[in-house]
A = this chain, B = another copy of it.
């Protein structure tokens, strides 16, 4: 088999032999399990420490558990996996490095903040399509308690949250990417995002900081592929929340791109707006990761979604940069999933 990737337009790549998702798994915490997607998750941990002695170690366990379940569902052994791409929000991506250490799979650490699920799938897909790997795993995680004390305040302070703030999901999603497979969905193409920074400094309003990055990447993909938003069953951002989703639509409308009912956001899907008090919605690498690798892929497997643009967004600031008065650089990476691996011939 000749494996090749084709560049189209300025920013987009298409896979001539689209890799596919052999299997996937999502695990999450108690609050996520009580939300609308509770039934979709493979495992729900009621103990926020998962039996570990710190929240950081608990997050590592979320990630290793998601990978183990995804491999099991794919009927693949860890020794069959040639590379694993992983990243998270913790300093030095430590939930990834400690969580995956025992698996002994060649490891390529990624940093894309909450865009990590898209980034790891893009990298995995390129490895598969190029021949660099036969099986590659994409995984990411986040943990509410670990993120709060690292980025904001320890929970014990009991700080009041802004209405624009989002709630970091405790969860992890993992996907096994393979070549020449027949399991749905296929990965047809991708757009790697540029760093976009319109000067937003408010770390309690990440949606506003990230929306311009999502708009830029989506616009570039549609332009490169000469398609329109309505060509896709679902355009799924993650995680702009309520504020960021509104801003995304506004920014795109200025470019004459109309997002209608076919847009949704992982941060709006994972929690129940009425019953669960998460203000602007969910966030964190584990939000888009766990939503994609459970409910969304499941819908694609049942052909309820056939053609999906997954646009994961990340805010690339650190507490140090914010303390030094910096704005929030953001990024969005896009993955085009489809159940039809011959779709590409339209180009």
Q: Mark A184-207, 1 if CB is under 8 A from B, else 0.
A: 000000011111010000000000
Whether B107 lies near A110 (C-beta < 8 A) is: no
Whether B131 lies near A7 (C-beta < 8 A) is: yes
- CB < 8 Å: which of B92, B109, B119, B329 contacts A101? B329
Return chain B residues, CB-CB under 8 Å to A98: 321, 326, 329
Query: A317 near B: Cβ within 8 Å?
Result: yes
Q: How far is the CB of A192 from chain B (nearest CB, A)?
A: 4
Alpha-carbon distance between A92 and B111 when the two chains are bound, in angstroms? 7
Return chain B residues, CB-CB under 8 Å to A53: 324
Q: How far is the CB of A147 from chain B (nearest CB, A)?
A: 12
Alpha-carbon distance between A165 and B170 when the two chains are bound, in angstroms? 37
Query: A105 near B: Cβ within 8 Å?
Result: yes
Query: A130 near B: Cβ within 8 Å?
Result: yes
- CB < 8 Å: which of B54, B194, B319 contacts A324? B54
Query: A331 near B: Cβ within 8 Å?
Result: yes
Query: A345 near B: Cβ within 8 Å?
Result: no
- CB < 8 Å: which of B89, B105, B317, B324 contacts A57? B324
Query: Of A87, A195, A318, A321, which is in contact with the most chain B CB atoms at under 10 Å from its CB?
Result: A195
Report the nearest B residue to A122, measured CB to CB. B108
Whether A97 lies near B13 (C-beta < 8 A) is: no
- CB < 8 Å: which of B106, B119, B126, B129 contacts A194? B106
Alpha-carbon distance between A197 and B132 when the two chains are bound, in angstroms? 25
Alpha-carbon distance between A89 and B91 when the two chains are bound, in angstroms? 9
Return chain B residues, CB-CB under 8 Å to A109: 87, 110-112, 119, 316, 331
Query: A5 near B: Cβ within 8 Å?
Result: yes
Return chain B residues, CB-CB under 8 Å to A182: none
Report the nearest B residue to A11, measured CB to CB. B106
Whether B316 lies near A82 (C-beta < 8 A) is: no
Q: How far is the CB of A109 from chain B (nearest CB, A)?
A: 4
Whether B106 lies near A316 (C-beta < 8 A) is: no
Alpha-carbon distance between A262 and B264 when the two chains are bound, in angstroms? 57
- CB < 8 Å: which of B5, B82, B97, B324 contacts A131? B5
A window 138-195: CB within 8 A of B: 150, 191-195
Q: How far is the CB of A89 from chain B (nearest CB, A)?
A: 8
Whether A119 lies near B113 (C-beta < 8 A) is: no
Query: Of A98, A100, A193, which is in contact with the most chain B CB atoms at under 10 Å from its CB?
Result: A98
Query: A123 near B: Cβ within 8 Å?
Result: yes
Whether B113 lies near A92 (C-beta < 8 A) is: yes
Return chain B residues, CB-CB under 8 Å to A122: 108
Q: Mark A22-54, 1 if CB is under 8 A from B, else 0.
A: 000000000000000000000000000000011
Chain A interface (Cβ within 8 Å of chain B)? 2-7, 11, 13, 53-54, 56-57, 82-83, 87, 89-94, 96-98, 100-101, 104-113, 119, 122-123, 126-127, 129-134, 150, 191-195, 197, 316-321, 324, 326, 329, 331
User: Given A3-B4, A90-B318, 13 other A-B contacts at CB below 8 A?
Assistant: A7-B132, A87-B111, A91-B319, A92-B318, A94-B321, A97-B317, A98-B321, A100-B195, A106-B192, A107-B195, A126-B126, A129-B130, A130-B130
